[in-house]
């Protein structure tokens, strides 16, 4: 492997999860581009064009559902039940220890 690619993948490894998302999005975009070029050069374009609006609606609906689920998960994660009297007493005693 060339030094460029080894340093590039080393940098992506250091970036964490967001870099993986970027690489997958880049590969997916390239795949869609190749597929679009292949379809436009063949007779499939005549068959694919009427299906595109339905596929677009499905994609938009899928994205909306994914966003809604993420927002619900986020709200559930932020919701905390109030502390019991015992838990409050322990927390206050820990705060007093660190202060004094």
The pLDDT tens digits of the residues spanning 38-96 come to: 888 888 888 888 998 999 999 999 999 999 999 988 888 777 778 889 998 998 888 88
Of 25, 42, 59, the position where a domain reaches its end is 42
* Higher pLDDT pick, 5 / 53: 53
What's the structural domain count of the chain?
2
Q: Which of 51, 24, 27, 57 is CA-nearest to residue 39?
A: 51
| Residue recorded with tokens 């009297």 | 85
Same structural domain for residues 15 and 61? no
Same structural domain for residues 54 and 79? yes
Which whole-number Å values give the CA distances from 20 to 1, 3, 9, 66, in the listed order? Answer: 19, 20, 10, 19
Same structural domain for residues 54 and 100? yes
pLDDT of residue 13: 77
CA 26/CA 7 separation, integer angstroms? 18
Give the residue numbers spanning the domain of 2: 1-42
Same structural domain for residues 98 and 56? yes
Cβ atoms 27, 20 nearer than 8 A? no
CA 67/CA 76 separation, integer angstroms? 14
């Amino acid at each position: 492997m060339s030094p460029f690619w080894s340093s590039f993948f080393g940098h992506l490894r250091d970036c964490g999860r967001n870099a993986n998302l970027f690489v997958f999005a880049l590969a997916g975009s390239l795949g869609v581009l190749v597929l679009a070029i292949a379809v436009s050069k063949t007779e499939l374009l005549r068959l694919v064009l009427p299906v595109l609006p339905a596929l677009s609606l499905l994609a938009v609906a899928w994205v909306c559902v994914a966003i809604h689920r993420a927002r619900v998960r986020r709200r559930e994660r932020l919701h905390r039940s109030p502390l019991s009297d015992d838990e409050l007493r322990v927390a206050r005693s820990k705060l007093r220890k660190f202060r004094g």
